Amino acid sequence: MKENPFKKMPTILMPNELMEKALRRGEKVAEEFRKKEVPRYLKAKIVEENKVRTIASVISDNLQKYIDKTPPVRKLPKFYQEMVEVLVGIDEFKKCMGAFKWASDLVRKLGNEYAKKIRKAKTPQEAAKLRKEFVGRVKSILKQIHPEMAFIAVAREKLKELPTFKELPTIVIAGYPNVGKSTLLKKLTGADVEINSYPFTTKGINVGYLEEFQIIDTPGLLDRPLHERNDIELQAILALNYLANLILFIIDASEYCGFPIESQIKLLDEIRELFKIPIFVAINKVDLADEEAIKKVEEELRKRNLDYIKISADKELNLEELKKEIKRRAFEEFKKAHM
pLDDT confidence bin for 28, thresholds 50/70/90: very high
Q: What is the pLDDT of residue 127?
A: 93
* Side-chain-side CA neighbours of residue 93 (13 Å): 22
Q: What is the pLDDT of residue 228?
A: 79
Percent of residues, the chain, with pLDDT higher than 70 = 91
Could you report the per-residue pLDDT of 180-223, keeping only the tens digit for each? 888 898 899 874 444 455 555 445 677 888 889 999 887 666 77
Higher pLDDT, 218 or 146: 146
Gap between the Cα atoms of 224 and 255, Å rounded: 15
Q: CB under 8 Å to 32, separation ≥6 — which residues? A: none
- Evaluate whether 188 touches 313 at the Cβ level (below 8 Å): no
Phi, psi angle pair for 246, to nearest 5° = -155, 140
- What is the pairing mode between strands 203-210 and 308-310? unpaired
Q: What is the pLDDT of residue 192?
A: 44
Q: What is the pLDDT of residue 116?
A: 96
Gap between the Cα atoms of 201 and 9, Å rounded: 20
Mean pLDDT of the chain: 89
| Rg of the chain taking only CA atoms, in angstroms | 29
pTM over the 0.75 mark? yes
Q: What is the pLDDT of residue 132?
A: 97
Q: What is the pLDDT of residue 226?
A: 73
Could you report the per-residue pLDDT of 35-77, keeping only the tens digit for each? 777 676 678 888 999 999 999 999 999 999 999 999 999 898 8
For residue 299, pLDDT over 90 is answered with yes
